[in-house]
Amino acid sequence: MALSYREPVISELEYKGVNVRVLHEYENHPSVSGNKWWKLKYNLKAARTQGHDTILTFGGAYSNHIYATAAAAKLEGFKSIGIVRGEEVDNLVLSFARSQGMELRFISREEYRRKTEMQFDDVFVIPEGGTNEYALEGCEEWGRKLLEQDFEQVYLAVGTAGTMNGLMRGIEGKREVIGVPVLKGFTGQNLLTEYHHGGYGKMPSVLLEFCYRLRREYKLILEPVYTGKLFWAVFDQIERGLIKKGITILVIHTGGINFLLSPEAR
């Protein structure tokens, strides 16, 4: 595959007696980074095996998935189409997608809600967020790779839950996998559901300040949509004594760094 993988750095910090290992998975590729690399790996292989030359997917105007899919498709020699929710706009994410050759088609939010009913000919369709059986296969492989590291619990942000489910398949109960949903309404085991801060894309000032504080104190670059909520949950669980002193936890930093922090906080 042209979509090469670069081994990410693991940094360590001690917080109130807990050894926190941070896996900087967003470093695994310059433009198809974090969990997106693993979710797209086998989708692209399947598209090639099935003889498709075009990848089609869905997302909002600030979608990390649109960004990553556009880059991955170009690297692997595919054409790409992005079905974007809402009125036509331009921003850093969509400008990048266009620069990678992605054709963007904007549809109304009402139409977007019916996207699973849409029919497309001669394209390989990847769902919004990238979660399907091929994505689970990639994340399962990633889970097996994580077992090479020393930790007792692993924490990650949860959007569609595809990454978490795939990791759990690969880890096979050998470590505890704990997810932090960034949307309202999640239920289930191994989920810390109280850290969504109002729902997807909600970024209250206290969360932004937390992201800035971790940048200043630990040189961790976070964005408030996914990783800020993840690290807030981890630090809060430690402060409340719900993560035991003396253990080693692995926190997966999947990126989302296309969401730029405001300059006044630097």
- The answer to whether residues 143 and 259 belong to one domain is yes
Segments of the chain assigned E as strands: 10-15, 18-23, 54-59, 79-85, 102-107, 124-125, 153-158, 176-181, 248-252
5 domain residue, yes or no? no
pLDDT digits (tens, 9 = 90+) for 37-81: 999 999 999 999 999 999 999 999 989 999 999 999 999 999 999
Residues 141-152 pLDDT 10s:
999 999 999 999
Cα separations in angstroms, 147 against 100, 154, 175: 34, 10, 8
Q: Both 16 and 139 in a single domain? A: yes
Mean per-residue pLDDT, 199-216: 92
Q: Tell me: do 174 and 238 sit in the same domain.
A: yes
91: containing domain: 37-130
Distance CA(56)–CA(185), nearest Å, equals: 28
On whether residue 1 sits in a domain, the answer given is no
- Tell me the C-alpha distance between 253 and 133, whole Å: 23
Q: Residue 43 sits in a domain of what CATH number?
A: 3.40.50.1100
Q: Answer yes or no: do 152 and 248 share one domain.
A: yes
Same domain, 149 and 86: no
2 within some domain? no
| Residue 1 binned pLDDT confidence (cut-offs 50, 70, 90) | low
Q: Are residues 192 and 206 in the same domain?
A: yes
Position 4 in a domain: no
Q: How confident is the model at residue 261 (pLDDT cuts 50, 70, 90)?
A: very low
CA 126 to chain centre: 15
pLDDT band at 172 (very low <50, low <70, confident <90, very high): very high
C-alpha dist (Å) from residue 164 to 18, 38, 62, 161: 23, 12, 22, 5
| Residue ending a domain, choose from 130, 149, 175 | 130
Q: Are 226 and 25 in contact (CB under 8 A)?
A: no
Task: Check: CB of residue 40 under 8 Å from CB of residue 141.
Answer: no
Would you say residue 75 lies in a domain? yes
Residues 170 and 248 in one domain: yes
For residues 24 and 155, state if they share a domain: yes
Place of tokens 């990410």: 8
Closest listed residue to residue 252, CA positions, set 184, 186, 168 = 168
Of 62, 95, 130, the residue that ends a domain is 130
Strand 10-15 to 18-23 pairing = antiparallel
* Domain count for the chain: 2
- Domain boundary pick from 107, 130, 153: 130
